[in-house]
A and B are shown apart, each in its own frame.
Chain A
Amino acid sequence: MMEKIIFALITVMIIFLLPPLLDGISRKVKAKIQYRVGASIFQTYYDLQSLLNMEPILPTERLAFRIAPYIAFASALAATLVLPFGSFVPVAFTGDFFVFLYVLAMFSVAMMIAGFSVNNSYTNAGANREMMLILSIEPVLGVAIGVFALNAHSLSIGGIPLNITFTPSLILAYVLLAYAVYVEGGFIPFDIAEAETEILEGPLCEYSGRLLGMFKWAMLIKRLALLWLFVSFLVLPIMKNIVDITTFTGGLATLVAQLVVLFIIYGIIAIIEASNARLRIDQAIRQNTKVFFAGLVVLLIAALGW
């Protein structure tokens, strides 16, 4: 029981407090690439703190506008809860893989609600872009996880990484998953919905103060959820051969391994972000569509058992 509580505590810390730190590190990495001193790695905490302490200015009376950041936050949170943290999965049940996809889509829906609830061509354009982007990438994510599920004969995210067998289609599935996670995370060149220099942060354009802070925090948590999924799929199959994950120490070791890989991946992402320009929405959609069809081929290969 004690062990469970400790894991639960660590998990909560990771979900709430790690994302801003990761963002801070990413900013520092970018600064280094750009020969800058850069802000402190804790800068994102300071930003969030000051935003959360500020009264928002409301451009509209609509409830949807005020509620959207909280929906986004709740969805991002829900998405993290079905992921395995070491041996610990906060909410585990069969079919949670669908829930994961649903709540991620919910996050985007919250963005769209935010964008469409005000009469502003910038937020509308942003919401539109978010919709198009999510419609083109969610299937890719679904297909990628589908290949894993097919391989592992499991529909639970906690169960998939422990039961996969190594086949050629699996490598392709990893590539697909990495791509989907990257796009869905809204990293450059796919930060199209929030493009600052084009549509002034799109759906977030009219937000300020606490509501903006909630949105930003939610976005960081969503990124963590996506990356944690990828990291778990990468780390757990390896760790299960080295340690016994179900024991306390084994679980802890796995968690540490997950964290290490997460930091490395976040660093790599920062480098990719720093060396790319933003794509246009039509370019991104075309690319995503191509990847989706490639994904279907991978699914076919996996279904054939390779």
Chain B
Amino acid sequence: MPVTLRYPFTELEAPPEYRGLPHIDPKLCIGCGACVNACPPDAILRIDDYDRGTRKIVLDIGRCIRCARCEEVCPTGAIRLTNLFEAASPDRRDHIEVVELRLVRCKVCGNYTDFTERQVKKALQILPKEILEEEALEEKVFICRNCRRKGTVDATINATKEVVL
């Protein structure tokens, strides 16, 4: 009755509770970066490229400590810890997972904003209709921070002018 196994010549499956290698489902990821903020060892990075208009969420399982904080904070359930544990690979690049998402292009100035198209879509989905209509958000969300601030400032100045006049 040996208790050892002929591993790696036999298959070994981790229990369902096991926190294994993390994996991002690229279909679900909206690129919000909540996981980036929560990750203690900086295993997940957010890299924005404003020239090409992309955001990369880069997951490096070589740095990952399997704490599952990312799983807890993910709003869409895109990042999940699988119960796989075999990470050995001759190629360092096998440890890296990249999700590339498109950034929103500002409707006013044409520059890229610091949020992704999917983020906007998600936000529009979960916000109640009344708020969307009241604030005219459907329009506003496609404008970058600077233009929005400028818009608000301009509107205020105009309003003050009117009052003064």
Which residues of B sit under 8 angstroms from A32, Cβ to Cβ?
A: 2
**CA–CA, A35 and B6, complex, Å:** 13
Which residues of B sit under 8 angstroms from A36, Cβ to Cβ?
A: 2-4
Task: Tell me if A's interface is mostly helix, strand, loop or mixed.
Answer: loop
Which residues of A sit under 8 angstroms from B1, Cβ to Cβ?
A: 35
Please, which residue of chain A has its CB at the minimum distance from the CB of B5? A37
Beyond the given A32-B2, A35-B3, A38-B2, please list 11 additional residue pairs across the A-B interface where CB-CB is below 8 A.
A31-B2, A35-B1, A35-B2, A35-B4, A36-B2, A36-B3, A36-B4, A37-B2, A37-B4, A37-B5, A37-B6
Please, which residue of chain A has its CB at the minimum distance from the CB of B1? A35
Min C-beta distance of A165 to chain B, whole Å = 48
Nearest 10 CB-CB pairings of A with B: A37-B2, A36-B4, A35-B3, A37-B4, A36-B2, A35-B2, A37-B6, A35-B1, A36-B3, A35-B4
B5-27: contact bitstring with A at CB < 8 Å (1 yes, 0 no)? Answer: 11000000000000000000000
Min C-beta distance of A157 to chain B, whole Å = 41
Min C-beta distance of B108 to chain A, whole Å = 70
What's the tally of chain A residues with a CB closer than 8 Å to chain B?
Answer: 6
**CA–CA, A37 and B2, complex, Å:** 5
Name which of A31, A32, A37, A38 has the most chain B CB atoms within 10 A of its CB: A37
**CA–CA, A122 and B85, complex, Å:** 40
Report A's interface with B, CB cutoff 8 A. Answer: 31-32, 35-38
What's the tally of chain B residues with a CB closer than 8 Å to chain A?
Answer: 6
**A and B contact pairs by CB, cutoff 8 A, 13 listed:** A31-B2, A32-B2, A35-B1, A35-B2, A35-B3, A35-B4, A36-B2, A36-B3, A37-B2, A37-B4, A37-B5, A37-B6, A38-B2
B49-88: contact bitstring with A at CB < 8 Å (1 yes, 0 no)? Answer: 0000000000000000000000000000000000000000
**CA–CA, A300 and B9, complex, Å:** 60
**CA–CA, A240 and B108, complex, Å:** 110
Report B's interface with A, CB cutoff 8 A. Answer: 1-6
Name which of B1, B4, B5 has the most chain A CB atoms within 10 A of its CB: B4
Min C-beta distance of B10 to chain A, whole Å = 10
**CA–CA, A37 and B10, complex, Å:** 13
Which residues of A sit under 8 angstroms from B5, Cβ to Cβ?
A: 37
Which residues of A sit under 8 angstroms from B4, Cβ to Cβ?
A: 35-37
Min C-beta distance of A162 to chain B, whole Å = 45
Min C-beta distance of B16 to chain A, whole Å = 26
Min C-beta distance of B33 to chain A, whole Å = 47
Please, which residue of chain A has its CB at the minimum distance from the CB of B7? A37
**CA–CA, A36 and B6, complex, Å:** 10
Min C-beta distance of B136 to chain A, whole Å = 70
**CA–CA, A21 and B2, complex, Å:** 22
Min C-beta distance of A202 to chain B, whole Å = 29
Please, which residue of chain A has its CB at the minimum distance from the CB of B6? A37
Min C-beta distance of B9 to chain A, whole Å = 10
Min C-beta distance of A33 to chain B, whole Å = 11
Min C-beta distance of B35 to chain A, whole Å = 41
Which residues of B sit under 8 angstroms from A38, Cβ to Cβ?
A: 2
Please, which residue of chain A has its CB at the minimum distance from the CB of B2? A37
**CA–CA, A31 and B2, complex, Å:** 8
**CA–CA, A32 and B3, complex, Å:** 10
Please, which residue of chain A has its CB at the minimum distance from the CB of B3? A35
Which residues of B sit under 8 angstroms from A31, Cβ to Cβ?
A: 2
Min C-beta distance of A39 to chain B, whole Å = 11
**CA–CA, A37 and B5, complex, Å:** 7
**CA–CA, A38 and B5, complex, Å:** 10
Which residues of A sit under 8 angstroms from B3, Cβ to Cβ?
A: 35-36
Min C-beta distance of A9 to chain B, whole Å = 37
Please, which residue of chain B has its CB at the minimum distance from the CB of A38? B2
**CA–CA, A31 and B3, complex, Å:** 11
**CA–CA, A31 and B6, complex, Å:** 13
Min C-beta distance of B28 to chain A, whole Å = 43
Please, which residue of chain B has its CB at the minimum distance from the CB of A36? B4
**CA–CA, A289 and B2, complex, Å:** 40
Min C-beta distance of A42 to chain B, whole Å = 16
Min C-beta distance of B95 to chain A, whole Å = 31
**CA–CA, A38 and B1, complex, Å:** 12
